[in-house]
């Protein structure tokens, strides 16, 4: 700009509030803490009341590593009391939450009162599309991982499985066999041989039961699972009735019941219950995949690379996988559209989200040039048109 030089700095926001969920309590906390600290902020972390201990241990480790007092604080408590008081405070300059869509909307409304910066990674209802050009066995293994890892308690869990009609019967049978293999190996979370443990709480179990029972009432087919586990584990003798155990559950339509009319098609169960439907064309698959208020994750299984590009381009989701699931480069943005949240985490996006920009302009003009050009209120004379 000639005699003027303009530069932009990024400055920390100040005190930021991080609110984390019960699932992946350490991983999700660290994903937020690292960019917030790197940007120069002080942090108050409010972990889920269901899983606070990992965050408290992390706090002790950071203190032991030399982090100054007050830079990182762990604040355990319930969301409706402790969390609400935290995000309402006028000193909080940013709120970053991972949680349910309902919680995200409520927290965002409060943060907005103080015009605080806001990032929200919320619910999902990820579609997973399997085309006839996919490797069927790899796809079945991929669905099992995408749907049942962590007992289905992940925001990007594949809960709506869309399968090309030509391979639908084969895939359903193979996936049923896989799911029942997991069920036989469910047991104590302390047992390293256990393939899947309980869900987090009675409330979470009740939500899964509610959605599956509602689907049953519509006449759909339960391929496998569909009932709370109350027997004894064949793996290690654990009394499953004393925990919140729910088996891998697969549900599909039949001539009497349409899965599209169930709440399970629309609502997030956050558990190991999935629906599986056939499709005839790519267009139909895309329509089903995008039939959701959520838009966080999605997956496509095919060995046809041009098909993979064509389909992922049309799916309304912040993250798309091809022939895999869950995997994410830490430098790649992680976030969704619609009811799945606002903003994104990871990489430079996360760093930028914990900063604000400051623009500085300096005038290097010598005195004579300044007098000649910058005396906006000089007397008389002709010259350029001026303000006013």
Q: Which residues pair with 307 in a beta bridge?
A: none
Q: Quote the pLDDT of residue 255.
A: 83
Catalogue all structural domains in the chain, each as residue range(s) with its CATH number: 4-122+340-358 (3.40.605.10), 126-329 (3.40.309.10)
At residue 380, the pLDDT reads 63
Secondary structure (DSSP) of 153-198: -STT-EEEEEEEGGGHHHHHHHHHHHHHHHHHTB--TT-TT-SB--
Over residues 11-70, the pLDDT tens digits come to 999 999 999 999 999 999 999 999 999 999 999 999 999 999 999 999 999 999 999 999
Is the pLDDT confidence value at 386 over 60? Answer: no
pTM, two decimal places: 0.92
pLDDT at residue 226, as a whole number: 97
**Active site (catalytic) residues:** 121
Q: CA separation (Å) from 133 to 126, 141, 300? A: 21, 16, 11
C-alpha–C-alpha distance, residues 330 and 334, integer Å: 9
Residue from 296, 325, 196 nearest 249 by CA: 196
Cα 376 from Cα 364, distance rounded (Å) = 18
């Amino acid at each position: 700009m000639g005699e003027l030089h303009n530069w932009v700095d990024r400055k920390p926001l100040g005190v930021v509030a991080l609110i984390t969920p019960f699932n992946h309590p350490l991983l999700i906390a660290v994903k937020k803490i690292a960019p917030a600290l790197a940007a120069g902020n002080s942090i108050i972390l409010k972990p889920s009341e269901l899983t606070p201990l990992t965050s408290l241990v992390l706090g002790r480790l950071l203190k032991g590593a030399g982090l100054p007092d007050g830079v990182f604080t762990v604040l355990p408590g319930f969301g409706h009391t402790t969390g609400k008081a935290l995000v309402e405070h006028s000193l909080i300059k940013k709120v970053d939450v991972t949680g349910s869509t309902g919680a995200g909307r409520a927290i965002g409304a409060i943060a907005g009162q103080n015009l605080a910066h806001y990032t929200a990674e919320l619910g999902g209802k990820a579609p997973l599309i399997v085309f006839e050009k996919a490797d069927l066995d790899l796809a079945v293994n991929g669905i099992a991982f995408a749907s049942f890892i962590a007992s289905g308690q992940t925001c990007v869990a594949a809960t709506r499985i869309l399968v090309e009609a030509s391979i639908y019967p084969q895939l359903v049978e193979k996936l049923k066999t896989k799911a029942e293999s997991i069920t036989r190996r469910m047991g104590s979370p302390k047992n390293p041989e256990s393939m899947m443990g309980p869900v987090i709480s009675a409330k979470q179990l009740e939500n899964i039961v509610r959605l599956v029972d509602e689907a049953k009432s519509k006449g759909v087919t339960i391929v496998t699972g569909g009932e709370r586990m109350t027997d004894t584990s064949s793996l290690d003798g654990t009394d499953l009735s004393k925990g919140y155990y729910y088996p891998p559950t697969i549900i599909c339509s039949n001539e009497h019941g349409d899965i599209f009319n169930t709440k399970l098609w629309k609502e997030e169960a956050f558990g190991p219950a999935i629906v599986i439907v056939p499709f005839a064309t790519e267009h139909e698959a895309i329509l089903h995949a995008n039939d959701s208020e959520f838009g966080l994750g999605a997956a496509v299984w095919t060995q046809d690379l041009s098909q993979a590009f064509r389909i992922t381009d049309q799916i309304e989701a912040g993250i798309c996988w091809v022939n895999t699931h869950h995997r994410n480069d830490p430098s790649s943005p992680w976030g969704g559209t619609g009811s799945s949240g606002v903003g994104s985490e990871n990489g430079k996006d996360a760093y930028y989200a914990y900063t604000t920009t400051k623009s500085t302009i300096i005038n290097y003009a010598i005195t004579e040039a300044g007098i000649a050009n910058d005396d906006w209120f000089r007397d008389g004379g002709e010259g350029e048109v001026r303000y006013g």
